[in-house]
Amino acid sequence: MEDPIPLLIPRYMPTSMLEDKPRVWLGTGSCNLLQKTKDSIDELSFWAWSDLLVALKHYQDSPRTATSSGVLEKCLDSLVGRLAMASEVTPCASTSPPDSSGLRISFNTRSTQSSNKGLFRATWWFEDLSALSPNLIEMLVKSMVSRGYNHVIVSGFLFYYQKSKFYTASSDEKREVLEIVIDMLYTLDPSSISCKSLFGVLRPVLRSNISKSCRNKLESMIGSQLDQATIDNLLIPSYGRSYLYDVNLVLRFLKAFLREGGSESSPIRMKKVASLIDLYITEVAPDRCLKSSKFSALVMVLPDSARDSWDELYHAMDIYLE
């Protein structure tokens, strides 16, 4: 008969915690592993970072049991608490939204190198936590937001997480990751989110079957920052349709921009969007499959006051009529 299996709580509990304590043996049904784990929760504050990660990875395979016991939430709370303390000691080097890589990094000057080092110190945990499941990431981000964690760093992590997960994920897993990332981004301050990065998320969204609610949230976030977009961002292929570019999607962006108060908050933002859309209309005008109703909708969606000059728009009209 084999020896009874020792209750190695250090699978998700550090071995240092078991020093000077009697070893518990898992015999024939008398010992409850979950109960023993609960008994060790009071000492979570002494766990090493690596031990917390091991615990979370273990529990993500049986989330119902861990959630019902409260162990999972306590592990996450301890982990987020450490991140919060670290961010207070080493504040983020920048409060501007990260670019599509998740970090805005330049190596041109000594000052930017110093800034990059500060940003790295604030984002060192990205790779460690990218191994967690989408459900745990949702819980993690909600906890970070409730603690007032820097939204710029949180959004950067979400973009990093989406990219890192896509390397090996199945189509269903990609859909789940996208939905969690979009839902969590939607809870953040819009000014903390990079418009360029949102377009990076949009590309896989257009090829996946995510929920309509998530699509609407993403389109709303992009539309609210449309003044920061470029013409290349908007030239999105029209998958499965006869016309070349997805004009309907751009019209939804424009409606979201107007709905979010783009015309009222700043005339400068409105004029930037008008200039962008005039360029877009010029690009799509040669498409012979573009219906006149769609072309007219693009021309008329913005108020007349948005444009200082109509030259570009008249040029686009001439191209379309030809």
Q: What is the pLDDT of residues 197-252, one digit of tens each?
A: 999 999 999 988 999 999 999 999 999 999 999 999 999 998 777 889 999 999 99
pLDDT band at 73 (very low <50, low <70, confident <90, very high): confident
Task: Supply the pTM of this predicted model.
Answer: 0.80
- Residue 274 belongs to what domain range? 225-321
Of the candidates 237, 201, 239, 238, the residue with the CA atom closest to the CA atom of residue 219:
201
In a domain, 114, yes or no: no
In a domain, 254, yes or no: yes
CA angle 245, 161, 92 (to 5 degrees): 105
Per-residue pLDDT reduced to its tens digit, 88-102: 655 544 445 655 444
pLDDT band at 35 (very low <50, low <70, confident <90, very high): low
Mean pLDDT computed over every residue of the chain: 80
Q: What's the structural domain count of the chain?
A: 1
Contact 177, 169 (CB under 8 A): yes
In a domain, 88, yes or no: no
In a domain, 251, yes or no: yes
Contact 52, 73 (CB under 8 A): no
Nearest 5°: phi and psi at 224?
-65, -20
**Mean pLDDT in residue range 188-202:** 96
Q: Which pLDDT does position 12 carry in this prediction? A: 44
The gap from C-alpha 122 to its chain's centroid, in whole angstroms, comes to 17
In a domain, 275, yes or no: yes
Q: Which pLDDT does position 112 carry in this prediction? A: 44
Q: Which pLDDT does position 121 carry in this prediction? A: 66
- How many residues are listed for the chain in this entry? 322
In a domain, 241, yes or no: yes
Per-residue pLDDT reduced to its tens digit, 93-132: 444 565 544 444 333 444 445 445 555 567 899 999 999 9
DSSP designation for 25: E
CA–CA distance, 151 with 88 (Å, rounded to integer): 14
In a domain, 185, yes or no: no
In a domain, 172, yes or no: no
pLDDT band at 69 (very low <50, low <70, confident <90, very high): low
